[in-house]
Amino acid sequence: MMQLAKYLPILDWGRYYDRSTLTNDLVAALIVTIMLIPQSLAYALLAGLPPEMGLYASMLPIIFYAIFGTSRALAVGPVAVVSLLTVAAVSKIAVPGTSEYIVAAITLAFLSGLILFALGLFRLGFLANFLSHPVIAGFITATGIIIAVSQLKNILGIDAHGHTIPDLSRSLAHNLSGLNWITAVIGVVTTGFLFWVRKGLLPLLDSLGVAPRIASIIVKAGPIAAIVATTLVVWFFDLTAKGVQVVGDVPKGLPPFTMPSLSMDMWSNLICAAILISIIGFIESVSVAQTLAAKKRQRIDPDQELIGLGAANLGASLTGGFPVTGGFSRSVVNYDAGADTPAAGAYTAIGLAGASLFLTPLIFHLPKATLAATIIVAVLSLVDFSVLKKTWHHSKADFAAVISTISITLLMGVELGVSAGVTVSILIHLYKSSRPHMAIVGQVPKTEHYRNILRHDVLTDPKILTIRVDESLYFANTRYLEDRIYDEVAQQLELQHVVLMCSAVNTIDMSALQSLQAINERLYAGGVTFHFSELKGPVMDQLSATGFLDVLSGEVFLSQHNAQTTLRVGSDL
């Protein structure tokens, strides 16, 4: 039973489900449903899809995640970044609004689900570690800007296209003469109202003595109020006749059963985007899940999260949806609203099913400018330029990764942007590891500690050179190690011993072993013995198994202090 619960977490938390948990989950589901209705419609619009597909992508995926996922607060569904990646990928092979475009989006969800599911089964979640936090932060900031700019066309009531800032800017400027003033007023006022709801409504309600939970619900219902108000205004004044674009007819009913395309041509065109969406979605989702789980001293299983998200995306592809992942904003709302288990997500799916059955006729006159305003307010909260200042002061290499990710994403598109960020990160890592930090160390007076001679006032012996290498040794950095040792030996004519302090060395590959053999032979030929100190057990085993220690001219010391005292006595003799 325990083994099965590992792959079906619902069997774990379901055993302790009681009336109190049910109440908390229902309250959280109500709040998240209110929030998710406008978000689902808006993100479908962002992805270039019919608005009902946003609702479809928020039903079965949530239920599947509740069964297979390990986070008790994560709310799965369409999110802004994944929606942008979807439109960027699918629009390359089909025209938005066509049936082929819809099929391609469904297929993209299916491929993403397969990839995530496979990564989970083979426990390959560690692959996401190749996307560093600075790269992710830069990517999300850049995509937030692109998404916000892309929605200006709906705010202004004009036509525009493009997936980069230069393309969008040129298109917006070219079509600005067609601006619809009524749409612009609706869009600007709604955007301002939603920003005020986020920043100013809660303090106002607190000053009026409204209970915190009630105040939170009212704030979260802000987008619903904007939707109701603007829809009534458009309907009452018949603003569609004056050029205001509306959502229009949304089919009423539950999600249809759909099948992804099995065309190999379509798969080959979408597979790279599916991999990118899978990795980005997983990182965004698991980071949120871990943060929320830590607040309640709970744990999540990243590999099982891959299976849960994979199942969610497969569910989306079977019910007319598009790629989904765990969303930051609604997951935080779900947590703050008191969700105790993933069942809250299942109840949210039921609420959305009810909305799809009974409320869709009411949104016929919902202006697209209102949905655009919802998107803009949501994504601008993701834009964080402070990461540039932080990385500049912390690490110039990380700053290079961030600025290249932001710049290339803005100028050349999301896929090239994140690819460039990953490439720069890997190249920087390889460069840094190929030139590891090395320090000549000496003894801190009256202690057994040894520190960098450039940072501390330490004692050294002209006959003993100790170099501490702060990196595992492998093919890319061994030549650097050889050059450093030979340079130091050449400058110290009294030298009798070289000690390689290996407290930070976790592994030595065959290339590094050959370099150590060369160093040993060359030093011995010059009358200098070669020693090691503080070798870790696994590294010691490696060197012993190859027979290197049998030909080592010096010794292996348990500690650097032992090496120093032993060699000093030997030199004095």
| CA 284 centroid distance within chain | 4
Supply the pLDDT for residue 570.
Answer: 64
Q: According to the 3-state scheme, what is the secondary structure of 21-38?
A: HHHHHHHHHHHHHHHHHH
Tokens read off for 322: 């598009």
CB 414 within 8 A of CB 163: yes
Q: Name residue 499's beta-bridge partners.
A: 466, 531
Tokens read off for 63: 């239920």
CB 100 within 8 A of CB 258: no
Supply the pLDDT for residue 557.
Answer: 96
pTM for the model stands at 0.79
Supply the pLDDT for residue 223.
Answer: 83
Supply the pLDDT for residue 571.
Answer: 60
CB 375 within 8 A of CB 151: yes
Distance CA 503, CA 485 (A): 17
166 confidence band (pLDDT: 50, 70, 90): very high
Q: pLDDT for 290-340, tens place per residue?
A: 878 777 777 788 889 999 999 999 999 999 999 999 887 778 778 877 788
Supply the pLDDT for residue 2.
Answer: 53
**Residue 1 pLDDT greater than 60, yes or no:** no
Tokens read off for 325: 């992942």
CB 158 within 8 A of CB 182: no
Q: pLDDT for 43-70, tens place per residue?
A: 998 899 999 999 999 999 999 998 998 8
Q: For 237-245, what is the mean pLDDT?
A: 92
Do β-strands 450-452 and 556-557 pair in parallel, antiparallel, or remain unpaired? unpaired
Residue 97: left if φ>0, alpha if ψ -120 to 50, beta else—which one? left
Instruction: Choose between 39 and 269: higher pLDDT.
Output: 269
Distance CA 49, CA 45 (A): 6
Distance CA 4, CA 346 (A): 21
The 10 Å Cβ neighbour count of residue 216 is: 17
Strands (E), 136-197: none
DSSP 257: P
Q: Name residue 452's beta-bridge partners.
A: 441
Supply the pLDDT for residue 128.
Answer: 66
Supply the pLDDT for residue 572.
Answer: 57
At 455 the three-state DSSP class reads coil
Sign of the Cα torsion 58, 331, 419, 407 reads positive
Tokens read off for 249: 């007819």
Q: For 97-105, what is the mean pLDDT?
A: 94
Q: According to the 3-state scheme, what is the secondary structure of 375-416?
A: HHHHHHCCCCCHHHHHHHHHCHHHHHHHHHHHHHHHHHCHHH
Q: pLDDT for 338-373, tens place per residue?
A: 788 888 888 999 999 998 998 888 889 999 999 899
What ranges in 91-159 are assigned the alpha helix state H?
Answer: 99-121, 133-150, 152-156
Instruction: Choose between 77 and 224: higher pLDDT.
Output: 77
In angstroms, what CA-CA distances link 17 with 14, 33, 62, 298, 333? 5, 21, 19, 16, 21
For 13-27, 92-106, 112-126, 518-532, which range has the lowest pLDDT when averaged over its residues?
A: 13-27
Distance CA 159, CA 178 (A): 8
At 354 the three-state DSSP class reads helix
In angstroms, what CA-CA distances link 151 with 58, 476, 542, 563? 22, 47, 59, 67
Distance CA 44, CA 375 (A): 11
Helix (H), strand (E) at residue 439:
strand 438-443
Highest mean pLDDT among 286-295, 408-417, 503-512: 503-512
Which residues 6+ apart lie within 8 Å of 145 measured at CB? 165, 383, 410
Distance CA 430, CA 477 (A): 9
Classify burial at 266, counting beta carbons within 10 Å of its beta carbon; exposed 0-12, middle 13-18, buried 19 or more.
buried
Instruction: Choose between 288 and 554: higher pLDDT.
Output: 554
Q: For 182-210, what is the mean pLDDT?
A: 89
**Residue 3 pLDDT greater than 70, yes or no:** no
- Does 3.30.750.24 match the CATH number of domain 438-572? yes
Average pLDDT, the chain: 88
The 10 Å Cβ neighbour count of residue 176 is: 12
Distance CA 394, CA 341 (A): 39
Do β-strands 325-326 and 76-77 pair in parallel, antiparallel, or remain unpaired? antiparallel
Q: For 272-286, what is the mean pLDDT?
A: 88
CB 360 within 8 A of CB 249: no
Which residues 6+ apart lie within 8 Å of 75 measured at CB? 32, 36, 62, 326, 327, 330, 331, 333, 334, 345, 348
**Residue 394 pLDDT greater than 80, yes or no:** yes
Helices and strands in the chain: count of H runs, count of E runs: 27, 8
Distance CA 408, CA 143 (A): 11
506 confidence band (pLDDT: 50, 70, 90): very high
Supply the pLDDT for residue 201.
Answer: 84
Q: Residue 537 — φ and ψ, nearest 5°? A: -55, -50
Supply the pLDDT for residue 427.
Answer: 83
**Residue 495 pLDDT greater than 90, yes or no:** yes
CB 559 within 8 A of CB 535: no
Q: For 157-183, what is the mean pLDDT?
A: 91
Q: Where in the chain is the domain with CATH 3.30.750.24?
A: 438-572
In angstroms, what CA-CA distances link 287 with 74, 79, 212? 10, 15, 27
Supply the pLDDT for residue 523.
Answer: 95
Q: For 558-565, what is the mean pLDDT?
A: 94
Q: pLDDT for 18-38, tens place per residue?
A: 888 888 888 888 878 877 888
